[in-house]
Structure 1
Amino acid sequence: MTTTPTPPTKTTPAVPADPVGKKPPTARSLTWARRRHSVARFWSSYRSHRAGLFGLAALALIALTALAAPLLVGGDVQSVTDAPGTAMEKPRGEFPLGTDQFGRSLLGLLVWGARISLTVGLLAATLSVAIGTLVGIIAGHYGGWFSTVLMRITDWFLVMPALVLAIVLATVMSRNIWTVIIAIGVTSWPTTARLVRAQTIAVESRPYIERAKALGGGHGHIMNRHVLPNVMPLVLAQTTLGISSAILTEATLAFLGLGDPTVVSWGGMLQDAREAGAVSSGHWWYLAPPGIAIALVALAFTLCGRAIESVLNPKLGVAR
């Protein structure tokens, strides 16, 4: 009697266990690792710009002072009825920067005004860059007659003086802090729009955009997943540079009497000094502090913006 040999059974080879016991990295962990590496590389390059570090340190100091204003000077520093000093006192021990026409401490007003000036500059620049980025990406992506119409509108805003348009908007709208933000934001976006449009056209000429379209990627997918991440470095640099311009515009509007009269800002302090006759009477301690503060903040943001531009586009540093 013969027995039929049984065929050998196939066994699945065992997957060797990870000697360390760690799980394989996920897509999200890899993404965050790349982001951390990019941030570390950006900071390493940024540290080589001394002017950028000086601007960043100055902005950090001013921002911390503005955030701590209620603790440093108190919330009643704006009160006219409870002013601790007499009108137009010269700088002395109790009032290092003197007092205004109501007897309020100019140092306290300067610290408190930093909150409004920085807030207006940041929000107005963000609004301006958001509008410019949206218009630039749409115009660069679609092209054709639609892009031509958008660019002609952009050119119209570009040739019109932004300050004049802001004055008109601030005049016809109610006088509050949001009016100033909107007036600055909707009049200063054309430069960003043209820069983003040019960058969008350059990005969409790359081969991987054609592959994404061939695989069925729609307009929204192309703009959100491919174009926007590539123009974000330009948008970041433009935002940093736009904040200084927005702060100067806010100070100009407040100096012209078009700001919010219920809040204290550096431009509003200059307007109050002009109305109090500080220019003609030689009360320099009323005029100099807010003017110097505006100049320092604008310079700090400009230095940071230039440093960011040099890091994101090394060719600019070589050209300079």
Structure 2
Amino acid sequence: MRISMLLAGLSLALAPMAAHAQAAPDQPAFSASEVRKHVEFLADDALEGRYTLSKGYLTAAVYVAERFAALGLVQAQTDTGWFQIAKLPITMGNPPRQRIYKAPNVIGVLPGSDPVLRNEYVVLSAHLDHVGTDPLRAGDKIYNGAMDNASGVATMLETARAFAGSGQRPKRSILFVALAGEESGLLGSNYLARNPVVGKGRIVADINLDMPILLYDFQDVIAFGGEHSTLGEVTARAGASMGVSVSPDPMPEEDFFERSDHYSFVKVGVPSIFLMTGFKNGGEKAFRTFLAKNYHQPSDQADLPFNWEAGAKFARLNYLIAREVANAPEPPRWYEGNRYGNRFAKGAPRARRPAEAGK
């Protein structure tokens, strides 16, 4: 309750900032320095690894809310303003015991322009939490989570900045969401998917950003789950417009499609994708080196050799994908016969796969 009251008060304090947002050119620019600024703040030692139940996580949540307010986004229909207070079942202690804890998802809304389609919502999500600290570890005890997932949150914020500054609101509304509890089992996204702040059945897609490897000039992306719905086609068109190809999943044995926050939306029937920078142009080496040396280690810090221009480029790609989805006459559809659609979206309209549509 104390967390809820604190964040509600902060929401009221931040709300007036939205009134001062300035109009910007129709063609959005994407800033490497903005991406860098966000990563460096979120991965600073002062936030102590952003574990979901920590003060550092709350500091990060307030930071994201401040950015949303400054961009002129609006608060979701919730009594806690920018924050949805998620109830998270977390197991801790010795012996282990599960209890319900509270932590905020941070949500900013860009209202759509169409009087009908504005009641449908496209989600851009990125988890804000990381794994915190290890007081028993020798040496550096803070797991900063720069790539995992400050890079994803930074990209989401830069995409939000581009939308807010474009001067052209899309037809559908967009929810920009920084999620709690991913590292504890996709908990914040599961709570939001099952308790949507915009009402049941109104979320039509989730585009999830989790640990893009921003260490090189990526030439391709992997859209985990793109083969299951029309979101794969949208991603391919957006990428082609900026010279970025879409590559197939290079690690199907890892089953990444079921291992990040988008899958919480899949389980309530929402077509979703999880975007990651691809393996071309040195990407495979960068990815595997990061996994071996930095993933869930104190060395995942902002002083890694980030390619900040790649962050701006990744934000642009997500902007193009989200804008097409938000402006399309029809929302994304699961493909006919797809196992996820058949399991989680019984009775929902289907689309034919591109190769079949022309027959």
- TM-score normalized by the length of structure 1: 0.26
Counting helix residues as a fraction of each chain, which structure ranks higher?
A: 1
Say which one has the larger Rg.
1
